[in-house]
Amino acid sequence: MKTALFSTISLALLHLASSQPHRSHHKHLKREPDVKTKVEVVTVNAQNVVVYVDGQGHPVSTTTIYNNQPAPTHPAPAPPPPPPSPPSPPLPPSAPAPVENQPPQSHQGPPNTGGSAPSGPGFKSGVSYSPYNADNSCKTPQQVATDLSKVSGYEVIRLYGTDCDQVSSVLAATKDSNVKLFLGIYDIAQVQKESQTIASAVHGDWSRVNTISVGNELVNKGGDPGAVIGAIGQARGALKAAGYSGPIVTVDTMMAMTNHPEICKASDYCAINCHAFFDGNTPAEKSGEFVKGWVDKIGQATGKTVVVTETGWPTQGDSNGVAVASQDSHQKALSSIKDAFSSNVIFYSAYNDMWKKNGPGTFNAEQYWGLNGNAPSS
């Protein structure tokens, strides 16, 4: 049944996927693990049926328990009661059930203040941020505070990992705002460790967290989808035990999400990185149309909400077909994307990432996607 489902979803996007070449995307080289994870799934279907009887040995109810599940400890039910009295007047109808697929909300810590973004999908816009100096060293909490003091107008800030004490630093730098964090577990071989780092940083107040991602573009880089799905499940267990009940996703490119919809199905919503610049056939002024087209296609095929977790345009570098890397194209692309989306978009990136390495695979533009140029703490 799973095979049929995945084939149906993949066929729904076959035309679009086949028309787009596989492109390189942003590489967080400093935190790039070499992970080989084997995931084995064992399904146990054995079950037992318990029959409760009354004092005369007549069956009155049954229940089913599965292997490794303890049998119920409550006493056997009493015999059926006598016929009820005439019914009372009907009660008013109960409130409607919650809408399905609504993102789970955090129930830890103090209530959200007025004006803050919701957890998961529904925020207006966000921006990504990486706390590294050009020499790949970690920025201090003071440097992070300086950088983020110049970033405004966004409801969500996306981080990619937990190193450099970045979760604590960014929480402290944004404590007087309504900004929420889209946090990341970068290394899926360290899910327990990174989950604990996040839990320690929030001190039980999960109201500041919008979403937690598990991996960034792992399948696009050749990773095993099954390993990613296993890591999502592991993160759910670890973070739930720490008090978190918000959305957990994996982030990947629109091509990876198209070819492997199972990673979207395993997530609480589909989280895609989508850059028109890497298409090579889309000019900057058509960026919004390009990204919106992918969001609509993936949403229709999977039946899930789609959030764009990276999109933007480089200010310098080599051209890629009709995609020109320049400050003018950067502004045109941002304007086009803002016209196409009123919510659920995270722009890449707050500042130029001078700690990265340029190369032909990313058209020598990898460092130059910053919305605000070079970071003030540089």
Distance of CA 96 to the CA centre of its chain: 28
Beta-strand ranges (E) seen in the chain are 47-53, 59-66, 125-128, 156-158, 180-185, 209-216, 248-253, 270-273, 306-310, 345-347
Measured CA to CA in angstroms, residue 57 lies from 60, 76, 146 at distances of 9, 12, 76
What contacts 359, CB < 8 A, 6 or more positions away? 366
Beta-strand ranges (E) seen in 41-148 are 47-53, 59-66, 125-128
Whether the Cβ atoms of residue 370 and residue 351 lie closer than 8 Å to each other: yes
Amino acid identity at 133: N
- Alpha carbons 164 and 161: distance in angstroms, whole number: 9
- Alpha carbons 191 and 168: distance in angstroms, whole number: 18
Q: Which two three-digit tokens encode residue 367?
A: 């460092």
Which residues does residue 56 pair with via DSSP β-bridges, in sequence order?
none
Q: Which two three-digit tokens encode residue 205?
A: 């107040």
**Residues annotated catalytic, as ranges:** 310
- Alpha carbons 330 and 328: distance in angstroms, whole number: 5
